[in-house]
Structure 1
């Protein structure tokens, strides 16, 4: 049996609800592939050169930091460059935070759609099952006293197909969405740290944080 024939049989058994769920799964796959391509092009999670530039800036070597930043392909590089140019300007941190939030919002585009599919697919599947059960019991009532249990069982399992398809669509969509959200959350933390490193540089701050951490650990020891 060819995949196309099997798909037609599923459509025939599940009705329009299964057709809607299959369409949702195709849309989800398209959005997922687009997000993977977008993350790869933007270099999400790949900030080695940018981290080296931030380390050089934090150490006070601004020339080396700018030189390394010029070789970074990270989507955050323009924002970090703007932060370096605006270092010491009053109110620059708020503007830069807004710019970073705008860029990160671009990475989150499509998340709402995936979330909608993950929540709606099981409900659509359940809706199709309820409709199928209603039809099965109507057939049972019409049969009267001459009820064939196999007909009732066949109607029930056909009705349950929509629930199975709904869960099959929702579960991988939810997993993909969780993975994308976790990657974006890490990017948000890195972007915030990068901006704060540029706007408030200096090894003394890092040393102070390390000293405080040691002091807290000593007090609790």
Structure 2
């Protein structure tokens, strides 16, 4: 197998490096996003405590969480407890949320780049291989047989196959990871929105009393 791949020339070596980078980034991102949407039961308990007016207890509950949702919710609760203006607090939560999403999105663009470049490198290897094969055929001045030409062609096509093998997992992983980041972003907005709804409901109840 290794002997067959080495016949693809230096392009195969480049694709092997890209494949290693791709696999490493996929594993790193999976570990990075593990549990990013977890801890919902703890947040539900915090919402219930907030509704009952037990703000310190609610804040302590979300501070114990480790997900981006817990961190953004903790910042929102801390701001409300401190009595910050809603506009200023919203702006702070926006940049905190963007910061979390930027961290989670890191290296996904690299995976997309690998998925885009790999098939092009494979095609480049194929074109170079075909040029070499036909050059040998021309130098043989008709003495070359069909098996020699076929051998050169399949070695050239090998780089295209290798490029696709590297590109497909990278492109699919980048798409799935990007979708998960979007889900986390929506979940953060929902978490903060739910807290603000509870806060507004408490304020309305106090005014009516």
Shorter chain as denominator, the TM-score bin is 0.7 to 0.9
Q: How far does residue 145 in structure 1 lie from its aligned partner after superposition?
A: 2.5
Kindly indicate whether residue 155 of structure 2 is the aligned counterpart of residue 158 of structure 1.
yes
What residue in structure 2 maps to residue 74 of structure 1? 67
Task: Tell me the distance in 2 between the aligned counterparts of 1:127 and 1:166.
Answer: 10
- Among 23, 35, 41, which residue is 2:17 paired with? 23
What residue in structure 1 maps to residue 76 of structure 2? 83
Q: How far does residue 175 in structure 1 lie from its aligned partner after superposition?
A: 1.4
Q: Is the 8 A contact 1:49 1:69 kept in 2?
A: no
What residue in structure 1 maps to residue 106 of structure 2? 109
Q: How far does residue 185 in structure 1 lie from its aligned partner after superposition?
A: 0.8
Q: Structure 1 residues 174 and 34 mapped into 2: Cα distance closer, same or farther (>3 Å)?
A: same
Q: Secondary structure at the match of 1:24?
A: helix
Q: Is the 8 A contact 1:54 1:198 kept in 2?
A: no
Task: Tell me the distance in 2 between the aligned counterparts of 1:92 and 1:123.
Answer: 47
What residue in structure 1 maps to residue 206 of structure 2? none
Task: Tell me the distance in 1 between the aligned counterparts of 2:176 and 2:5.
Answer: 30
What residue in structure 1 maps to residue 120 of structure 2? 123
Q: Is the 8 A contact 1:45 1:187 kept in 2?
A: yes
User: Runs of 4 or more off by more than 3 Å in structure 1?
Assistant: 57-64
What residue in structure 2 maps to residue 37 of structure 1? 31
Q: TM-score, normalised by structure 1?
A: 0.81
Q: How far does residue 190 in structure 1 lie from its aligned partner after superposition?
A: 0.3
Q: Structure 1 residues 202 and 83 mapped into 2: Cα distance closer, same or farther (>3 Å)?
A: closer
Task: Tell me the distance in 2 between the aligned counterparts of 1:62 and 1:186.
Answer: 29
Kindly indicate whether residue 2 of structure 2 is the aligned counterpart of residue 10 of structure 1.
no
Q: What runs of 5+ residues in structure 2 fail to find an aligned partner?
A: 202-209
